[in-house]
C-alpha cells in the first residue's frame, strides 16, 4: 500500500459506503466504487459525512479508512474524516488515519455542542499537533452545529501555514464567506468547494483548489471542472444546470444519502440503496422521476463533444 504524495486538489469525491443485506459494509462494492471514481478522473477520494461516518462504529470506521487507503494504493489522495466529540477522540482518529496511509485528514467540529471559539481553536490545534499530515477544517454547519468564524479559521492558517491547514467551508452564504476567508488569509488559503457541486462555478471564480462532491455525479463534476479550467463558458453552464438541479434536491444529509445511492445503483456501481437507520428522509416516486429526468439531461450533455 502506497501513500499518495502529489498535490492535494482537483476533484475529490466523498464516497458512499455500501452495505450488504446483513447491514455489514460491502467491501467488494466499495472497491468497485473507488476504482470507478478514479477511472472517471477523480484526483482521489474522501471518507466523510456522506460516507455515513457518524453511523459507523469505531472499529468499522477504522477498518473503512484502512481498506480505503489499501484500495487506492497511491493512485490518488485519500482524505479521512477524523472529527470527534472530544480532543482525545479526534487526536486518536487522526493518528490512525496517518498510520494507515491517508494523504490528509478532515475534521468537523464536535456535533453535540456549539463549542466556544477558543475551545474550537484548541481542538484544531491538537489535531494538527498530533500528526504530520495536512488538516482540512470542515465547517459542516450546513448539516450540524453553527458556522465557524472567519477570524478563527484565518488564525489557524496564520499559526500553521497553508501547507498544513486547508478549508472546506459550507456555511451560508457560501460565496461571500469563501471570499472573506480568502481575503482574511491574504489569498493563501487552499479551499475546497463542499456543496455537492451546486456552488462549484461560483466557488471556482472566487479561487478554490478543488471540490469535494458526492460520488454519484462524478462524470458530470469532472467534466464541469475541466470546462472551468478550460474557460469554456457554454459547456460550464450546460453541465452546471442539471448538476445543480439534482443537488438542490439533496436538502439534508439523508437526502444526499438517498439520492446518491439511488444514482449509484442506476449506474451499476451499487447493488442496493441501503442507508443505516434511523433515517429522516425517503425518496418518493415523484422525486425519483424528477431525478431520472435531470440525470438523463446531464447524460445528454456529457455525450456532446
Full DSSP string of 183-209? HHTTT---BEE-STTTTHHHHHHH--S
Q: What's the CATH superfamily of 10-233? A: Aldolase class I (3.20.20.70)
Low-confidence ranges of the chain (pLDDT < 50): none
- Domains in the chain: boundaries: 10-233
End-to-end C-alpha distance for the chain, whole angstroms? 37
Q: Which residues pair with 137 in a beta bridge?
A: 107, 167
Q: Is 171 helix (H, G, I), strand (E, B) or coil?
A: coil
Q: What is the pLDDT of residues 222-264, one digit of tens each?
A: 999 999 999 999 999 999 999 999 999 998 999 999 999 999 9
Q: Is 47 annotated as a binding residue?
A: no
CA distance 11 to 164: 19
The pLDDT assigned to 298 comes to 98
Q: What is the 3-state secondary structure (H, E, C) of 66-99?
A: HHHHHHHCCCCEEEEECCCCCHHHHHHHHHHHHH
| Residue whose entry in the numeric block shows the C-alpha cell 456555511 | 171
Q: What is the pLDDT of residues 92-139, one digit of tens each?
A: 999 999 999 999 999 999 988 888 999 999 999 999 999 999 999 999
CB 19 within 8 A of CB 276: yes
Chain mean position to CA 4: 18
Backbone φ and ψ of 113, nearest 5°: -140, 160
What percentage of the chain carries pLDDT values higher than 90?
Answer: 91
pTM for this predicted structure:
0.96
Amino acid at each position: 500500500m502506497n501513500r499518495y504524495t502529489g498535490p492535494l486538489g482537483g476533484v475529490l469525491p466523498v464516497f458512499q459506503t455500501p452495505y450488504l443485506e446483513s447491514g455489514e459494509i460491502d467491501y467488494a462494492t466499495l472497491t468497485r466504487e473507488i476504482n470507478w471514481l478514479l477511472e472517471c478522473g477523480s484526483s482521489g477520494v474522501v471518507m466523510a459525512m456522506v460516507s455515513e461516518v457518524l453511523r459507523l462504529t469505531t472499529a468499522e470506521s477504522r477498518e473503512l479508512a484502512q481498506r480505503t487507503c489499501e484500495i487506492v494504493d497511491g493512485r490518488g489522495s485519500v482524505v479521512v474524516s477524523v472529527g470527534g466529540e472530544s480532543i482525545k477522540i479526534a487526536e486518536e482518529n487522526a493518528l490512525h488515519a496517518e498510520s494507515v496511509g491517508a494523504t490528509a485528514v478532515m475534521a468537523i467540529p464536535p456535533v453535540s455542542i456549539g463549542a466556544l471559539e477558543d475551545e474550537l481553536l484548541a481542538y484544531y490545534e491538537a489535531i494538527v499537533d498530533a500528526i504530520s499530515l495536512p488538516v482540512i477544517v470542515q465547517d459542516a454547519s450546513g448539516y450540524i452545529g453553527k458556522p465557524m468564524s472567519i477570524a478563527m479559521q484565518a488564525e489557524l492558517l496564520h499559526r500553521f501555514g497553508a501547507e498544513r491547514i486547508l478549508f472546506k467551508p459550507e456555511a451560508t452564504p457560501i460565496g461571500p464567506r469563501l471570499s472573506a476567508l480568502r481575503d482574511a488569509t491574504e489569498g493563501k488559503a487552499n479551499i475546497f468547494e463542499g456543496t455537492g457541486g451546486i456552488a462549484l462555478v461560483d466557488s471556482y471564480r472566487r479561487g478554490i483548489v478543488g471540490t469535494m462532491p458526492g460520488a454519484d455525479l462524478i462524470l458530470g463534476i469532472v467534466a464541469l471542472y475541466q470546462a472551468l479550467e478550460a474557460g469554456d463558458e457554454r459547456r460550464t453552464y450546460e453541465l452546471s444546470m442539471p448538476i445543480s438541479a439534482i443537488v438542490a434536491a439533496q436538502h439534508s444529509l439523508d437526502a444526499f444519502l438517498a439520492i446518491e445511492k439511488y444514482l449509484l445503483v442506476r449506474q451499476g456501481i451499487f447493488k442496493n440503496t441501503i442507508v443505516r437507520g434511523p433515517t429522516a428522509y425517503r425518496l418518493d416516486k415523484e422525486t425519483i422521476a424528477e431525478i431520472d429526468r435531470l440525470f438523463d439531461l446531464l447524460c445528454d450533455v456529457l455525450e456532446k463533444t
